[in-house]
Chain A
């Protein structure tokens, strides 16, 4: 293993988003807080999803997880597409860094950004909502899994896309709908049977549901089932990503 090389790439990815913190950390926190303000203002007192849990409190874990997911994806995908478009990816491709080292460095940096934004939103939310904590272990476990999954998806999108438009399409047609329709704003138990079945094919649902379990000790499906689904999904995505890297898809001709 080229440990120094992998660490350097991770450090570079970290520095890349820390140099523009207003864009990469502050903006997503503010945007999510705006969601919270709007939705809680409209629905607070009208909707009770879980017994004795206010709608604002119910909404918060979902919003935090959604923000973690979207930012983890944005980190790896935007870094890769920028490197491809400006051509500086060549410096990385010339280096003695293996596919697995490349993958770990990008995904770990995505995890760090996802967790930082999520933690920032959690701290900010404490000023507006009384958010209980059932188990930090489940919270951290699902935050890690979620950001890793979306970090890996970002790497895949970054490898596949050769224009900013394609990256944007991946984000707008896959990531955003999948997160919005994963139970961030509602429990799937409130849906019709058909849409409940459809939701269960959305891996993001298990991430949100398992993460929310860490706060309330209540979930739509068993947390261990969510953990299993998320782990298998991460395994599949990682394998796919490593395969793309191994064949040099759109990176090494």
Chain B
């Protein structure tokens, strides 16, 4: 698979702060790529360097083999960016904003048909003549996405697109980004919602304190986490043996949650122990690790 974005040796220093430290990785064409990290991890700085809004102190970024500084015209033409903040120009209505944005990318009136399609796709047709300040936050977010897509880019970077939007809109944005991905577009997503990255992304990079902490396919990333949870519900009171005390996460009179190592702890042995005590199980639940568990483990390690 060919490279959509090549990041090599990128560092960025703002005065005393090392925002990014020697970041290198590639994002493949057609990939749905997740960029995760806590606040201040360097996600937005990296996105802004890719978009040409921030200049790297050292290193280089190429978008479809075009250097974002030296060949910025070609690079920017192939990139659509949805900024994190709900920014808009209060002088213009939705259609005007899209026509202007298309014009900046040298798309003339031939592009107006695509603008109509975008308005339809994003459920904005009825709002086309409304000024942006009159739109709700969710609608403004849709306009931002339309602006990023107006010049038909090959790669779309979504910087926390679902921050602060309601559940319904979040789901519709997921659906839409999935649709774009299925049409062959490369998507780069930064998000605070880890379930979002887990549901959408093929590969995930986690940044921590400006460093690339981990980069892997989503399933391999989840497999790396060595623990899972066993939740047992009993009919009567029980006693936890000393050997299991260290693994107890929560305990009530009739319920017990244990954090078990996937390889080292045998669920069969644990169940056998309680069976031998004459305890009758009412219910049993297993919980596999989520991306959030992996994320927390990695970021806590780093801090």
Chain A positions within 8 Å of B, measured between CB atoms, are 2-5, 7-9, 11-12, 15-16, 19-20, 83, 86-88, 90-98, 248, 252-253
Contact = CB atoms under 8 A, between A and B. Distances in A.
Contact of B14 (A16, A88, A92, A253): A253
A15 B106 CA distance: 18
A4 B107 contact: yes
14 contacts: A5-B105, A9-B103, A15-B92, A19-B91, A20-B91, A86-B89, A88-B88, A91-B104, A94-B81, A95-B76, A96-B76, A96-B105, A97-B104, A253-B14
B29 interface: no
Interface in B81-108: 81, 83, 85, 87-92, 96, 100-101, 103-108
B48 to A, nearest CB: 8
**Most A C-beta atoms less than 10 A away, residue of B48, B55, B91, B104:** B104
Contact of A248 (B55, B106, B107): B55
Contacts of A7: 103
B190 interface: no
Interface of A is mostly: helix
Contacts of B105: 5, 95-96
A95 B148 CA distance: 10
A86 B90 contact: yes
A17 B51 CA distance: 29
Contacts, number: 80
**Most A C-beta atoms less than 10 A away, residue of B54, B72, B103, B147:** B103
Contacts of A90: 53, 83, 87
Given A4-B108, A93-B52, A96-B76, 14 more contacts: A8-B100, A11-B103, A88-B87, A91-B87, A92-B104, A93-B53, A95-B101, A96-B72, A96-B73, A96-B74, A96-B106, A98-B73, A252-B55, A253-B53
A97 B90 CA distance: 22
Given A86-B88, A252-B54, A253-B53, A91 B103 contact: no
Contact of B87 (A5, A9, A86, A252): A86
A96 B53 contact: no
B103 A5 contact: yes
